[in-house]
Amino acid sequence: MVARRKSWRFYENRHSAEKAHTAHTREPYTSGMLGHLGVPVLVGCGRQDMNLPEAERIAASIPGSELHIMEMTGHGSPVFRPGLFSKIVIDFARDRLVDS
């Protein structure tokens, strides 16, 4: 039996990873509907995530949303930088969701 080497952490090859992470580009653009949300919204994305431009576009389409770009991480921010991710979510919840 030949062992298969995985690349891009969870995918068999770069093509599979790219296909999974860019699926949204083959679908109708629906982010415009997000502008009607009436709740606080946090958009988080890793600096090295190939979807960063989409995260920026989503955040820009939601009035009052907060965009947090996490340094030194990509698409798997909650997995690879859990402390940073948790701090961002907790701070957002404390500042925007909890009545003082």
Domain-located, residue 25: no
Q: Kindly calculate the radius of gyration of the chain based on its CA atoms and give it in whole angstroms.
A: 16
> Which residue from 74, 23, 66 is spatially nearest to 50, judged by alpha carbons?
74
pTM of the model: 0.71
CA–CA gap between residue 51 and residue 66 (Å, rounded): 17
Amino acid sitting at position 32:
G
Structural domains of the chain, count: 1
Mean pLDDT of 16-30: 74
Domain that holds residue 48: 39-100
- Taking only the tens place, the pLDDT of each residue in 41-56 is 999 999 999 889 989 9
